[in-house]
C-alpha cells in the first residue's frame, strides 16, 4: 500500500496534525517493523494507505548519539521504502526557513524523494498574514538552489483547518500507484 510520511522538528505539531487527519474509526495501528515501533509508526487509513509517523528531528535535549540513531532510522526508512509516495515536511508557519528543515528538504530532493511542505499552527496568525508568511517562506527557500516551490499546505490542528485539502492531495497523488 502507498505510504505518506510525516516528519518535522520536534514540537512542530506533528502529533496534533496526525490526530486531526486520522479518524479513529477507520484506524488500525500496525507496527512497521518489530522493535522499532516507538521510532516509526504506521497507521492504516481507510484500508488503502499508510500514514507513516517518523521521529521528530532537532530535539534540543537529545544526545548526539541518540540523534545519530534517529537519523539512521530516518535515512534507512527513506532509502528502503519503495511504497513511499510523498514525504510531508512540517514547518511552523510563524518561522523563517530553518537550516535543519532546508537541509532535510535538500536531502530529499537530492535523493529523488517527492515531498511537500505543511505549514502548521496557522491559527497563530491572523488570516491576512498567512499568505504573506507562506510566500515569504517560499521566496527565501527559492533563493537557495530550488527550481520551483514544492507543493504546500496550510493547516491548524486546533482550528481543524487544512484537513480536506491535504486528504484530497493524498488521494490525487495516490492515483497511479501500483502494488506488486
The footprint of ligand GDP (CB under 6 A) covers 10-16, 56, 120-121, 123-124, 156-158
What cell was used for 77? 526508512
CB of 68 to ligand GDP, least distance (A): 20
Least Å distance, CB 178 to ligand GDP, is 32
Cβ proximity to ligand GDP, 48 vs 71, nearer residue: 71
CB of 56 vs ligand GDP, minimal distance in Å: 5
Minimum CB distance to ligand GDP smaller for 10 or for 48: 10
Q: Are 116 and 89 in contact (CB under 8 A)?
A: yes
HSE at residue 144, side-chain half, CA atoms within 13 A, is: 15
Q: Which is nearer to ligand GDP, 17 or 85 (CB)?
A: 17
Whichever of 1 and 116 has its CB closer to ligand GDP, that residue is 116
Question: Shortest Cβ distance from residue 78 to ligand GDP (Å)?
Answer: 19
Residues in the chain: 180
Nearer CB in complex with ligand GDP: 41/157: 157
DSSP bridge pairs for 57: 9
Answer yes or no: are the C-beta atoms of 2 and 174 closer than 8 Å.
yes
Rounded CA gap, 40 and 141, in Å? 28
Nearest-angstrom CA–CA distance, 99 and 114: 19
Write down the least CB distance from residue 168 to ligand GDP, Å.
19
Neighbour count for residue 76 (Cβ, 10 Å): 13
CB atoms within 10 A of CB 156: 22
Amino acid at each position: 500500500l502507498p505510504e505518506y510520511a510525516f516528519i518535522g522538528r520536534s514540537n512542530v505539531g506533528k502529533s496534533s496534525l496526525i490526530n486531526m487527519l486520522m479518524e479513529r474509526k477507520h484506524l488500525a495501528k500496525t507496527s512497521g517493523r518489530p522493535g522499532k515501533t516507538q521510532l516509526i509508526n504506521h497507521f492504516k487509513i481507510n484500508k488503502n494507505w499508510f500514514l507513516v509517523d517518523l521521529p521528530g528531528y532537532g530535539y534540543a535535549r537529545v544526545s548526539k548519539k541518540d540523534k545519530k540513531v534517529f537519523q539512521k532510522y530516518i535515512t534507512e526508512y527513506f532509502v528502503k521504502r519503495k511504497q513511499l509516495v510523498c514525504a510531508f515536511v512540517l514547518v511552523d508557519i510563524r518561522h523563517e526557513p530553518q537550516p535543519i528543515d532546508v537541509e532535510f528538504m535538500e536531502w530529499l530532493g537530492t535523493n529523488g524523494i517527492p515531498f511537500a511542505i505543511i505549514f502548521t499552527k496557522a491559527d497563530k496568525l491572523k488570516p491576512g498574514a498567512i499568505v504573506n508568511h507562506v510566500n515569504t517562506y517560499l521566496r527565501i527557500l527559492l533563493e537557495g538552489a530550488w527550481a520551483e516551490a514544492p507543493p504546500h499546505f496550510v493547516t491548524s490542528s486546533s482550528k481543524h483547518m487544512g484537513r480536506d485539502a491535504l486528504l484530497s492531495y493524498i488521494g490525487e497523488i495516490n492515483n497511479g500507484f501500483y502494488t506488486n
